[in-house]
């Protein structure tokens, strides 16, 4: 894999774009993306994330304080009950799906694009202890297999597939499939999404 490859991160959603949708509209989209099952841990984790982002828009701060207390309690409940660490500081795109639960750790500075799927056992984190703010950036429609780890300030392009249990340390171009430890690009039989 060529670490200098610059994948196309065409339309990562920023917090400002995200805020054009109301909280309930976002949560409704997420609910539909999670097969309209409000009991799914992934849906609950994303919904708490949306709430955490939304409460930061509440003014004055005095009014926000009880919402922040509620957010922190819900965040801990999701983390402790389902093993999903998803801080409100993650730039989460629309309709992101968290399939299943357990050992899902997402660095607070990650960017995750629209319609991306994250599965059980996935870590998106920093690579080196002395570079704690390095975090992966995933494009739209990225398909992250169970147990995959993506470390450091790497870009995963739109529509990329990350194989189960891969350890990704380099950029992955749009539409590419990466497998193995360390991950390498393979010729995929999977259709490349547009
Ligand atoms: C990565 C993936 C999408 C590749 O699919 P594909 O493009 O159809 O690739 P293939 O199955 O044709 O495999 C191509 C090569 O990669 C290898 N490979 C595929 N997935 C691999 C993986 N996760 N780790 C290591 N090697 C893998 C195959 O053995 C094959 O090697 P070979 O050419 O030496 O025979 C798929 O294997 C995968 O890992 N999906 C994630 C599934 C998942 O997490 N499910 C969770 C359900 S809860």
**Dihedral pair phi/psi, residue 167, rounded to 5°:** -120, 105
Question: Which of 100, 109, 104, 93 lies closest to 30, judged by CA?
Answer: 93
Q: Which phi-psi region, left, alpha or beta, contains residue 180 (left: φ > 0; alpha: ψ -120 to 50)?
A: left
Specify the pTM. 0.90
- Looking at residue 15, its pLDDT comes to 47
**pLDDT (0 to 100) of residue 189:** 73
- Specify whether the CB–CB gap between 136 and 156 falls below 8 A: yes
List of residues 6+ apart from 20 with CB closer than 8 A = none
Burial class (CB in 10 A: 0-12, 13-18, 19+), 112: buried
**Please, are residues 117 and 140 in contact by the beta-carbon 8 Å criterion?**
no
Domains and CATH numbers, the chain: 15-186 (2.160.10.10)
Distance CA 161, CA 156 (A): 9
The DSSP bridge partners found for residue 106 are 86, 124
**Distance from Cα 147 to the centre of ligand 1, integer Å:** 13
pLDDT, residue 190, reads 65
167 in ligand 1 pocket by Cβ < 6 Å? no
Q: Could you tell me if the CB of 103 is within 6 A of ligand 1? A: no
CB of 158 within 8 A of CB of 8? Answer: yes
| pLDDT for the residue numbered 187 | 87
Ligand 1 site, residue 121, Cβ cutoff 6 A: no
Ligand 1 center–CA 179 separation, angstroms:
7
State the 10-residue block means of pLDDT for the chain, 194 residues long: 40 51 97 98 98 97 98 98 98 98 98 98 98 98 98 98 98 98 89 48
């Amino acid at each position: 894999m060529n670490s200098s490859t610059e994948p196309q991160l065409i339309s990562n959603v920023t917090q400002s774009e995200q805020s054009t949708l109301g909280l309930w509209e976002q949560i409704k989209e997420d609910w539909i993306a999670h097969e309209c099952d409000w009991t799914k841990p992934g849906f609950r984790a994303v919904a708490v994330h949306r709430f955490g982002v939304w409460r930061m828009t509440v003014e004055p701060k005095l009014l926000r304080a009880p919402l922040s207390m509620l957010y922190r309690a819900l965040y801990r409940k999701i983390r402790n009950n389902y093993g999903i660490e998803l801080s409100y500081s993650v730039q989460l795109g629309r309709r992101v799906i968290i399939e299943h639960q357990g050992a899902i750790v997402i660095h607070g500075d990650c960017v995750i694009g629209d319609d991306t799927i994250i599965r059980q056992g996935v870590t998106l984190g920093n690579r080196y202890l002395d570079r704690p703010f390095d975090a992966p950036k995933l494009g739209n429609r990225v398909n992250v297999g169970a147990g995959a780890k993506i470390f450091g300030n790497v870009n995963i392009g739109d529509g990329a597939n990350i194989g189960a249990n891969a350890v990704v340390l380099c950029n992955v171009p749009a539409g590419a499939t990466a497998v193995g430890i360390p991950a390498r690009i393979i010729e995929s039989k999977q259709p490349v999404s547009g």
